[in-house]
């Protein structure tokens, strides 16, 4: 019985371990509260070395483990007034995104992988562009804080999360307008994902995205999460965030563009 990760014949093992390990560390640092939505870089980087369906399954399990660890550092600092309506929209969004995945999965595996790479790449680039606009000091227009707008933002985040695990920056951007203290903002966004991510699991299992292979492959990288989470908590407030975030988003944009170009080619 093979217990090692599944590595495609066209992928060098050292490149595989580097990309997946780096993705897991980036997720953990982001979940630790540093770098905003830099975790989005993990999606295209991991997709470089495996089919997108397998990537979605591994990423799902890693994200749930990371959410549990990171929430321990922000326990009881949540803003429930905003969170409950975000979650209402999130449930609707996850159902929508899962339906989209099911529709896309009706094609052959090769076509599905190409379509998913293009879709994920475009979603990542859109989110990166939104963050770049904000970092440039242009501000980001968002809906005013209200139960209806919270539900709508939760729906968008849930849909994008189910399709591409790319909802990380959306909730914090919306919460910025509530002018919450930083720790409360981070805690509320983290709890949204801690509740929303497991809701994706039944659909992923039904679609075959999560299976025995994804459990076997992700278990090798889960040990990186505690170190990455503690590093993110330490970096939060200790290291200038903006230069680091600019570098990471630039890398994410280049990686996403390369993924889309390869899929189109």
pLDDT confidence bin for 71, thresholds 50/70/90: confident
pLDDT tens by residue, 226-254 = 888 888 878 876 777 778 778 888 888 88
> What pLDDT, in 10s, does the model give residues 118-134?
888 888 888 888 777 77
User: What span, in angstroms and rounded, lies between the C-alpha atoms of 36 and 45?
Assistant: 18
Q: Is residue 30 part of a domain?
A: yes
Reported as a single tens digit per residue, the pLDDT across 36-57 is 677 888 888 998 899 989 999 9
Q: Is residue 169 part of a domain?
A: yes
pLDDT value at position 138? 61
How sure is the predictor about 30, in pLDDT bands with cuts at 50, 70 and 90?
confident
Q: What is the pLDDT of residues 108-119, one digit of tens each?
A: 888 888 888 888
Q: What's the token pair of residue 36? A: 């905003």
DSSP the chain: ---SPP--TTS-HHHHHHHHHHHHHHHHHHHTT-STTGGGGHHHHHHTTS-HHHHHHHHHHHHHHHHHHHHGGGTT---HHHHHHHHHHHHHHHHHHHHHHHHHTTS-HHHHHHHHHHHHHHHHHHHHHHHHHHHTT-----PPSSHHHHHHHHHHHHHHHHHHS--TTHHHHHHGGGT--HHHHHHHHHHHHHHHHHHHHHHHHHTTSSSHHHHHHHTTTTTHHHHHHHHHHHHTTTS-HHHHHHHHHHHHHHHHHHHHHHHH-
Asked if residue 77 belongs to a domain, the reply is yes
Domain assignment present for 99: yes
Average confidence score pLDDT of the chain: 86
**pLDDT number for residue 230:** 84
Q: Two tokens at 204?
A: 């992923």
pLDDT of residue 14: 94
Residue 6 lies in a domain: no
The verdict on residue 180 lying in a domain is: yes
The span from the CA of 86 to the CA of 73, in Å, is: 21
Range 123-147 average pLDDT: 75
- 136 vs 206, which has greater pLDDT? 206
Q: What is the pLDDT of residue 211?
A: 92
Please tell me the predicted confidence (pLDDT) of residue 16: 94
Q: Which domain holds residue 47?
A: 13-264
The total domain count for the chain is 1
The reported pLDDT for the residue numbered 12 is: 93
Determine, yes or no, domain membership for 4.
no
Task: Report the SS3 class of residue 163.
Answer: helix
Whether 3 maps to a domain, the answer reads no
| pTM for this entry | 0.86
């Amino acid at each position: 019985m093979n217990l090692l990760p599944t590595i495609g014949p066209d992928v060098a093992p050292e490149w595989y371990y580097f990309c997946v390990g780096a993705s897991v560390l980036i997720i953990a640092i982001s979940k630790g509260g540093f770098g905003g939505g830099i975790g989005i870089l993990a999606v295209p980087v991991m997709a470089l070395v495996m089919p997108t369906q397998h990537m979605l399954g591994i990423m799902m399990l890693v994200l749930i483990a990371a959410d549990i660890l990171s929430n321990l550092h922000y326990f009881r600092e949540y803003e429930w007034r905003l969170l409950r309506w975000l979650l209402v929209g999130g449930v609707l969004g996850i159902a929508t995104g899962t339906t989209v995945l099911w529709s896309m999965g009706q094609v052959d595996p090769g076509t599905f992988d190409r379509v998913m790479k293009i879709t994920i790449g475009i979603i990542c680039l859109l989110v990166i562009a939104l963050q770049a606009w904000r970092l440039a000091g242009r501000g980001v227009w968002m809906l005013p804080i209200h139960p209806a707008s919270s539900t709508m933002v939760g729906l968008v985040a849930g849909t994008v999360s189910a399709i591409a695990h790319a909802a990380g920056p959306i909730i914090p951007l919306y919460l910025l307008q509530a002018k919450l203290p930083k720790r409360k903002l981070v805690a509320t966004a983290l709890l949204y994902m801690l509740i929303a991510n497991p809701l994706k699991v039944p659909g992923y299992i039904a679609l075959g995205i999560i299976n025995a292979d994804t459990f076997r492959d992700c278990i090798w990288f889960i040990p990186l999460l505690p170190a990455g989470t503690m590093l993110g908590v330490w970096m939060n407030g200790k290291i200038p965030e903006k230069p680091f975030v600019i570098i990471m988003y630039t890398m994410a944009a280049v990686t996403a563009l390369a993924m889309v170009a390869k899929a189109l080619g």
